């Protein structure tokens, strides 16, 4: 293993190369940083400005579990920001990557300065968001009977990430993210998904109503998860055929247009003093019932 160390603008730079070039093994460029002012660290300094990340076509992983799943995924890793202890833990996974990766090392106190409080466990990463499959290709590749999900109006990134996580847990083929939702690749959504966004197919569409209409035209039953009156009880609805379960935001729920675009309305039975639960919890209940019915 060849190691070259030099001083670069007051920062120590360590470049580690494999003895022989191997296209399947990452080259790590390891640099110790004493501050977060360097231009190359800008994406770590802007964690509270997710729109900048979206425009740059990147996402940021901000905890250890998410980083582990990122390193095992197809998402190209640009850089990681770690404490020395976490580098020791993740070095084998980093070297197993195919791309060159910049590794920035700092102490725990420095990393916490990113937001002013203990945001993470000393492990962050920036990755590129690869091109996502389109609606038609996902639909063609999905196993039958179809189990799909769609969301409308979910601006809360943690809730959206939790829905992604429930989709992954219960075998939903892909999640349709309507135009009134936030991005499932925002930092808080990625964290809420616990990194399952790297595995769970999602498709962001320009018109949820048009997408639901297209699904119904192909024989897919679209079911609105919406509280009474007039809703069928979840356990009494047959979910064994091709279906798409449609969810709205926790406060307003689904719009009248979204409900009208569905075949039927379904609800989780609750006591009279309750009329809804968190959308992340509700989606998990619906997905569980669908998989239970399918055996």
**All structural domains of the chain with their residue ranges:** 2-128, 135-293
CATH fold of 135-293 reads Alpha/beta knot (3.40.1280)
What's the confidence (pLDDT) of residue 270? 82
What pLDDT, in 10s, does the model give residues 86-143?
999 999 999 999 999 999 998 887 777 765 445 556 789 999 999 999 999 999 999 9
Rounded-to-integer distance, Cα 252 and Cα 229, Å: 15
pTM of the predicted model, to two decimals?
0.88
Rounded-to-integer distance, Cα 165 and Cα 196, Å: 6
pLDDT at 11 over 50: no
Give the mean pLDDT of 6-35: 57
pLDDT at 219 over 80: yes
Rounded to the nearest angstrom, the gap between the alpha carbon of residue 9 and the centroid of all alpha carbons in its chain is: 36
Asked if 2-128 and 135-293 have one fold, the answer is no
pLDDT at 258 over 50: yes
Tokens 């007051």 correspond to what residue? 10
Neighbouring C-beta atoms of residue 140, cutoff 10 Å: 9
2-128 to CATH, choices 3.30.1330.30, 3.20.20.80, 2.20.25.90, 2.40.128.20: 3.30.1330.30
pLDDT at 273 over 50: yes
Rounded-to-integer distance, Cα 146 and Cα 218, Å: 11
pLDDT at 21 over 60: no
């Amino acid at each position: 293993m060849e190691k070259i160390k030099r001083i670069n603008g007051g920062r120590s730079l360590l470049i580690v190369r494999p003895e022989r070039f191997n296209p399947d093994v990452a080259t790590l460029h390891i640099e110790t940083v004493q501050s977060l002012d360097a231009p190359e660290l800008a994406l770590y300094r802007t964690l509270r400005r997710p729109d900048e990340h979206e425009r740059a076509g990147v996402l940021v992983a901000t905890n250890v579990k998410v980083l582990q799943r990122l390193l095992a995924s197809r998402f190209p890793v640009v850089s990681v920001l770690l404490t020395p202890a976490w580098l020791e833990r993740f070095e084998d996974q980093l070297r197993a990557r195919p791309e060159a990766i910049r590794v920035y090392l700092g102490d725990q106190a420095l990393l916490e300065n990113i937001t002013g409080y203990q945001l993470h466990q000393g492990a962050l990463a920036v990755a590129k968001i690869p091109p996502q499959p389109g609606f038609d290709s996902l639909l063609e590749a999905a196993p039958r009977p179809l189990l799909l999900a769609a969301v409308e109006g979910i601006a809360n990134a943690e809730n959206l990430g939790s829905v992604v996580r429930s989709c992954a847990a219960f075998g939903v083929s892909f999640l349709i993210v309507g135009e009134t939702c936030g991005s499932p690749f925002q930092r808080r959504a990625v964290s809420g998904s616990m990194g399952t966004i790297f595995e769970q197919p999602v498709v962001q569409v320009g018109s949820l109503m048009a997408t639901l209409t297209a699904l119904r035209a192909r024989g897919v039953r679209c079911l609105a998860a919406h509280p009474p009156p007039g809703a069928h009880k979840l356990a009494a609805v047959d979910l064994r055929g091709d279906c798409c379960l449609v969810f709205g935001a926790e406060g307003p729920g689904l719009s009248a247009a979204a409900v009208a675009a569905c075949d039927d309305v379904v609800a989780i039975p609750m006591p009279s003093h309750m009329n809804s639960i968190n959308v992340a919890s509700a989606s998990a209940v619906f997905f569980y019932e669908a998989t239970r019915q399918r055996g």
